[in-house]
Amino acid sequence: MIERAASFGLSAALTRAAVAALRAKAPGGRDRWERKNYAGRDVELYAGPASALAAAVGAGRVSPAAGAAVAVAGICGAYDDVAGTGDPRRGFRAHLRALRDGEVTSGAVKLFGITAAGLVAGAFLKERTLDKLLAGVVIAGAAHFVNLVDVRPGRAAATVLALGAPGLLRQGPGAEVAATAMGAAAAVLPDDLGERAMIGDTGAHALGAALGAAVVAGNGRAGLVAHAAAVVAAALYGEQVSAAARGAVYIPGTSDQVSEAARTAGR
């Protein structure tokens, strides 16, 4: 328990220190680090790289392969945060259709980059071929899942805290990686909820990959199968998952997502 508490505290402290350093320096100018959120409010992006760095360092202390996967997930997310700004296409299908038409979107780079990183990490973390494959699916799928729910303030960070908590009850390296992800998420949650910051794809993918690595480190074949099935199902029903996190009703066959309050009011 002491090791898990230390991992949590170190990750949280590193995240806050990185946020402060980025805010003071603002590489490339402050305009590069500002976005409009869903409500049109100005928010900072420092929390994304800061939480990704802390998660990668913390996971790397336990397993270099896990740390590398988290770092790559964060880098791919950062690329999408920059290059994908203004691209309305969402979901695997849209980016794969664009790729079929000869356009390599930032979403496609993210998809293949994080998948490859997950598979490579899985190859180092597990011994048997099937377990390696399942581990890769879990790491990449968890990264994608956390990004799916990052549609309103605090949703992604709170999800990491909720899903990481059961991992703390286990023994071994998986618990430390889970604590690392939770520490970074806890450090950014107040500013995220207060709509002063957002973690973006950078933070969401990195924290999700750290959760996936924790699952891989703490589970055998049965656990890997169950978690792989869950993240694949989430990917297949991604629009519905995002709608639920947004507090909306997804209407199949359309792009409309209606708020529950509006739906019940008959609007």
What is the pLDDT, as a whole number, of residue 263? 34
Structure tokens at 140: 């990449």
Q: What gap in Å lies between CA 188 and CA 195, rounded to an integer?
A: 11
Q: What gap in Å lies between CA 115 and CA 160, rounded to an integer?
A: 20
What is the pLDDT, as a whole number, of residue 93? 64
What does the pLDDT look like over 78-95, one tens digit per residue? 998 887 666 665 666 665
Give the residue from 115, 112, 117, 204 showing the smallest Cα distance to 153: 204
- Mean pLDDT by groups of 10 residues along the chain of 267 residues: 91 98 92 89 96 97 96 94 69 64 75 95 96 97 96 96 92 93 98 96 97 95 97 92 78 45 34
Give me the long-range contacts of 148-152 (CB less than 8 A, separation at least 24): 148/234, 148/238, 148/241, 148/242, 148/245, 149/241, 149/242, 149/245, 150/198, 150/199, 150/200, 150/201, 150/204, 150/245, 151/38, 151/242, 151/245, 151/246, 152/38, 152/245, 152/246, 152/247
Answer whether 11's CB lies under 8 Å from 183's CB: yes
Q: Where are the beta strands (DSSP E) in the chain?
A: 34-36, 42-44, 248-250, 257-259
What is the pLDDT, as a whole number, of residue 170? 84
Q: What gap in Å lies between CA 101 and CA 95, rounded to an integer?
A: 10
- Per the confidence metrics, is the pTM higher than 0.75? yes
Helix, strand counts (H, E) of the chain: 12, 4
What is the pLDDT, as a whole number, of residue 257? 43
Q: What gap in Å lies between CA 129 and CA 168, rounded to an integer?
A: 27
Answer whether 185's CB lies under 8 Å from 58's CB: no
Q: What gap in Å lies between CA 65 and CA 183, rounded to an integer?
A: 20
What is the pLDDT, as a whole number, of residue 259? 42
